[in-house]
Amino acid sequence: MAISNPLCMVNEFGQSLWLDDLRRDLITSGELKRLIEEDCVRGLTSNPTIFQKAIMGSASYDDQIRLLNEQHKSVDEVYESLVIDDIRHAADLFRPLYDATQGADGYVSIEVSPRLAYDTEGTVTEAIRFWKTIDRPNIMIKIPATLQGVPAVERVIAEGINVNVTLIFSLERYQAVTRAYIEGLGALAAKGGDVSKVASVASFFVSRVDAAVDKLLEAKQTDVSALFGKAAIANAALAYKIWEGIFGGEAFVSLKARDAKPQRLLWASTGTKNPSYRDVLYVEELIGAQTVDTLPPATLTAFKDHGVARPTLEAKVGEAQAILDQLHLVGIDMVAVTQKLEDEGVKSFAASFEDLMTALAAKQKVVATV
């Protein structure tokens, strides 16, 4: 570990960097092990789009698909077998870090089916099934923060299962997520469970907010140039302010006395979408204590090459409300923006999943003839 490596220096300020990527050759080549040991990567996230690219963009899975074909597995069963194997192997690579940090880091996330985004009961059932099937203490089950997903989060946490709550865009929904976590831990404690063993992150999406707000600003007739590229970081900074108030306040006191872990904010969607913005913008400007930033490979490489590691998040909190107030004054409705982003996010993951299942069924036929 090189202390001059910006990826490692971030941890000095209390933030953990996780990789937003998973594919089989990342594991088999030894690259993931190197990222953990040399680049201080402290966890990993995945989603349906990532698995779509991994499975369909590589021959690494063909032998296993062929074997599963011989066992007459359905396309759904093939998908789960491929994904669960990758998740288990990645979790095993991160297990030493998980043990060394006493469960603070070293997590690998797997998402419930996007088909269940608006199905509370289905989400709870699948989350419990994934947890039992994968059988690793350092995995997190990803559940989207839809109106139907939030109560599922509470119930899954109450079962003592680690949860990564994903697709959070609005401050109001983020507050609901924190309540679900605290209520879930309370229910677990009430039935004698060990709340100290449960970990959770709240994945608050960043760059997509700027992409949406900037587009709206471009349509304005007045000069709003000072507001371009400001909404996402301000929105995230206010989420961090909420986090400080909740997990540093009365709401968490009794659970903290039982050694419960605060639910950390995780910055997601951190790849810069606007090429005119600095390519590590959403990493550099959101470095703060007890947070996580999950980076796609290109952003991780860029930050290692020219990123600047310094504590920036607290300073952003001070100016965040003024920025959102200015956006409101020029007619930007953040409630509407963030709801649209949630809807689009659910739809996008669902489309990737269905594309994957269709392509996987076709691939089953192809490998069967080889």
Q: How far apart are CA 108 and CA 351, in angstroms?
A: 23
Q: Kindly provide the residue ranges of all beta strands, DSSP E only, lying in 249-329, ordered along the sequence.
A: 264-268, 291-295
Yes or no: say if 266 and 292 are a contact pair by the CB < 8 Å rule: yes
Task: Report the alpha-carbon angle 74-91-184, nearest 5.
Answer: 90
Q: What is the DSSP string of 203-242?
A: EEE-HHHHHHHHHHHHT-SS--GGGTTTHHHHHHHHHHHH
Yes or no: say if 285 and 8 are a contact pair by the CB < 8 Å rule: no
Q: Which two tokens stand for residue 135?
A: 């059988």
In whole angstroms, how far apart are CA 349 and each of 5, 43, 50, 331? 33, 21, 10, 29
* 269: CB partners within 8 A, 6+ apart: 205, 206, 207, 208, 282
Q: How far apart are CA 198 and CA 189, in angstroms?
A: 11
Closest CA to 86 of 117, 57, 116, 50: 50
Catalytic positions? 142
Q: How far apart are CA 69 and CA 362, in angstroms?
A: 12
Q: Kindly provide the residue ranges of all beta strands, DSSP E only, lying in the chain, ordered along the sequence.
A: 15-20, 43-45, 107-111, 139-144, 163-168, 200-205, 264-268, 291-295
In whole angstroms, how far apart are CA 133 and each of 5, 127, 195, 283? 37, 10, 22, 34
3-state secondary structure 60-80: CCHHHHHHHHHCCCCHHHHHH
Closest CA to 36 of 68, 6, 69, 8: 8
Q: Which two tokens stand for residue 227?
A: 């507001």
Closest CA to 301 of 273, 271, 277: 271
